[in-house]
Amino acid sequence: MVRTSSPQKWLVLGALGLAYFFINFATFASLGVVLFTMARDLNWSMTAAGFTFSLLGLACGLSSMLPTMAMKYVGGRGSMAIGAALFLVGCLLASVSRSLIVFDIAIAMIGAGYSFFGNIPGVILIAQWFERGSARIVGIYLMVGALGAAAAPPTVEFVVRELGWRAHWEIMSAVALAVGVVCLAFVRDPQASAATAAQTGVSISPAAATWTPRQAVFTVQFAVLTAALVLTMTAVTTINGIAVAHLAKLGLSPATGAWALGALSFTGTLMKGATGHLCESRSPKTFVVVGLLCQAAGCTLLIVSTTMIVAFAAAVLFGAGWAFALVAGWVVLMRYFGGPTGARILAIVQLFTTVGAAGPIGAGIIADRWGTFTPIFAIYAVVLLALTVPVALVRPPAALYAKKTAEYEPAAVIAEPA
């Protein structure tokens, strides 16, 4: 059993929350805003800009397994320090970029920094420090990160408009340094028993220990839920990258697009906190289905967002759907496969989200060819709607495997609430 001091674990949570707030502020939510100005000033095509945004997701996904490996040798604090350093150098390089190649290198470093600095070490450390109620704490942690994403678009739009995009990246590098210092000062790894320290840092019940990440990833349940999470993150990444440009093509101002992105993120912030609480008393799978439906409706409205009211309605619907699908999806995985395994396969899920990097690239190609982003939103709406069927039909995997081998028992999975 891990013994933790109450003040220390809250200091750790505070530092992790600060880091997650910052990286969500400085990456996907703000890059779409600053890219709009950079592409215009440096004469980049929409395809080139879309590739840069996709590169951020690609770097995050491909590097997602590295933090769990690094934590075995340098611990959680060491992983956070690596992330802060990558973020700092990447932002400095972005601030002096004049060519697309240099900027892409900077974005790749920022994406890798996201993995070391973000939710993978964050969720693992929370699971280690908070022996009970870790799911609710994870919900709070995600909500703090979403708050950073909500604050980014209007703030970055103001900074870029008043000071320029180079100043934006310089400010981000300074903040990365400050947040890195805070993490070095307060992030600690808890002491664990020798039997479990190398795994999760908490005592693992026999039920939770039944499923291993390797076993879990070969189940239909994992495939269906991962598909929902990957499609959600693909759509979020694409919308953050092209929403400002899309709404501008429909006649709205860049400022309106930035505020719409802020509304999307703000809605996601509120609903992530609410979803974590609701999943404790209701079936989380239901919220995954509702989340996919809301995202499909939001994408449909974005096609016809020629007024500010419609644009904000689309943003609110999509933001709520994003929160429902993401938080509830994680909860379902943890309940189906046990908390410790559920937390560890987060890195595997994030690796699969690399597929989502193609979203902004595809959107840019469509815009360059047909002069509109409308088809990409129609595609997302249809696929999101279709995915609700297998998600609704999926069931806990314990009964399936209990029939095949005595290693799996029905008690191995925490049942969904009715």
- Please state the domain count of the chain: 1
In this structure, are residues 272 and 287 in contact, taking their beta carbons and an 8 Å threshold? Answer: no
Residue 72 lies in a domain: yes
CA distance 380 to 294: 12
Residue 363 lies in a domain: yes
CA distance 303 to 251: 13
In this structure, are residues 359 and 237 in contact, taking their beta carbons and an 8 Å threshold? Answer: yes
Residue 338, pLDDT above cutoff 80: no
Residue 197 lies in a domain: no
pLDDT for the residue numbered 136: 72
Exposure of 56 in the CB half-sphere (CA atoms within 13 A):
32
Residue 150 lies in a domain: yes
pLDDT for the residue numbered 379: 92
In this structure, are residues 327 and 201 in contact, taking their beta carbons and an 8 Å threshold? Answer: no
pLDDT for the residue numbered 400: 42
Cα-Cα-Cα-Cα dihedral sign, residues 323, 230, 138, 61: negative
Residue 198 lies in a domain: no
pLDDT for the residue numbered 298: 93
Local confidence band at 391 (pLDDT 50, 70, 90 cut-offs): very high
Residue 396 lies in a domain: yes
Residue 143 lies in a domain: yes
The whole-model pTM stands at 0.70
**CATH (domain of 404):** 1.20.1250.20
Residue from 189, 225, 199 nearest 80 by CA: 189
| Domain around 104 | 6-191+206-412
Residue 269 lies in a domain: yes
In this structure, are residues 116 and 79 in contact, taking their beta carbons and an 8 Å threshold? Answer: yes
